[in-house]
Structure 1
Amino acid sequence: MPGFFKTDGLNANDINEKYFDNDQRIELYEQLKQREQAWWQARQQLTLLKERQMFWFGENSFMMWLLWQLVTYVVVAMVLMLLSKLLDISLPLWQYITIFVIHTLIFVIMLGFKGRFTTLLERKINQADLSSEETLNEMTILAVDSLYRDVHAKAPISLKEIYRYYDAQFRLASLHRLLQKEVDAGRLTYGDQKVDAGILPLELADDALKEHARGVIYKSLI
């Protein structure tokens, strides 16, 4: 469908502006792009927090804490040796022991507050998840009079064609997630191929969709 993207030398932006009835439609797309950026950032923040939770508070987290403590022991020892050489001083053994005892006490105190740290991190994850869902809902509302209308008007259409139609201004993962809501609502259906990219982190989902976007066809049921 090459004529769908370019007509008489016009690119997709020109087609979009011609398709709009008024400036309000253009504003809808601008708002949708802004909300997509906010959603992408919220999802990345959520992924980062979940990775941090798994690393520090997962099933093997105690071993990670011990490993980190051993690493810090080595770092402190190297710093003390370096300072001794640079300043040409020699600390007595009891001072070295005192430093490492204090270091160990700090570790024990932090380990005692592990449950509180876990709760704090879970609260941040819930907030990031809520922010992501709220932003996605805002995107869905904006898509009703913009993206969804275009897709229904041009269906059957592939995800790749939709991506090109908007001059790659929206990420494939974002388009796929928004259109999945329309599929779930029973107003769109897939063709022969379906990619379940929603369970992947956004970066991986985007890469997976690049390989299969041409085969993901949306058909309108309205």
Structure 2
Amino acid sequence: MPIFSNNNARRTSFYQELQRRERQWWQARHRLITLQERQLFWFGENSVIMWLLWQFVSYIVVAIVLMLVSKLFDVHLYLWQYMAVFGVQTLIFITIFSAKGRLANKMQHNIHKADLLREQMLNEMVILASDSIFPDIHAHSPISLQHIHERYDAQLRLASLQCLLQKEIDAGRLLLSQREIEARILPPELADDELTPHAGDMIYKSLLQLQ
């Protein structure tokens, strides 16, 4: 049986587009988290220590490479040549480190762009859901998150559905009868695992039926 049995042609078209937007939302969310992790690593409170640590590691790597090259190709390198290589390496590090502020600003700009894209994808998902799954959910309320997930052949992730349904709750059109699971603050991959054991107990009730 089709996912939508009533007016299924138009609603299924919206649903297929919703699935595509969901994939884009997950990609944008993943990129945002990756950028935030990089920002914390390179520009966080302990970033100076990490920069110095990585520079120290790079000295060791370059020294090993030079020794291997010298051994494999039977090339004798003098001490001043080693010092010259390490000097150039240090100069490059100082140049990059001095530009740390500009690099941090660029990273923050990329994070802002990724966050805007994530929010844009989510808003487009909400618009598409309003023309596809939301009317269906309201019509079959009360309904659990697990039932909703199964109703659409598990083609939308639990975390995506929960995020979309939260928009309906915030708009005063749905009510969650069980305590809210704080999955929204987790990365989607972790949110799915967090929601799975509770999905059957998360019952959504339509407030439109009371109006």
Same fold (TM over 0.5): yes
TM-score normalised per structure 1: 0.91
Say if 1:152 and 1:38 are closer, same or farther in 2 by CA, change over 3 A: same
Is 1:90 aligned to 2:76, yes or no? yes
Say if 1:44 and 1:140 are closer, same or farther in 2 by CA, change over 3 A: same
Counterpart of 2:172?
Answer: 186
Distance 2:43 2:6 in 1: 51
Q: In structure 2, what residue type is equivalent to 1:23?
A: A
Counterpart of 1:7?
Answer: none
Distance 1:26 1:107 in 2: 55
Correspondence for 1:51 among 37, 42, 56: 37
CA contact (8 A) 1:198 1:205 kept: yes
CA contact (8 A) 1:193 1:215 kept: no
3-state secondary structure, aligned to 1:194 = coil
Residues 110-129 of structure 1 aligned to structure 2 (within 5 Å) = 110-129=96-115
Distance 1:20 1:97 in 2: 77
CA contact (8 A) 2:177 2:205 kept: yes
Q: Unaligned 5+ residue runs, structure 2?
A: none
Runs of 4+ in 1 over 4 A off after TM superposition: none
TM-score normalised per structure 2: 0.96
Is 1:204 aligned to 2:190, yes or no? yes
Q: In structure 2, what residue type is equivalent to 1:16?
A: I
Question: Following TM superposition, by how much is the alpha carbon of 1:22 offset from its aligned partner in structure 2, in angstroms?
Answer: 4.7
Aligned-residue Cα RMSD (Å) equals: 1.0
Report how many residues are paired: 208
Is 1:155 aligned to 2:141, yes or no? yes
Distance 1:99 1:36 in 2: 49
Distance 2:104 2:166 in 1: 33
Residues 69-84 of structure 1 aligned to structure 2 (within 5 Å) = 69-84=55-70
CA contact (8 A) 1:20 1:26 kept: no
Say if 1:22 and 1:199 are closer, same or farther in 2 by CA, change over 3 A: closer
Identity level (%): 54
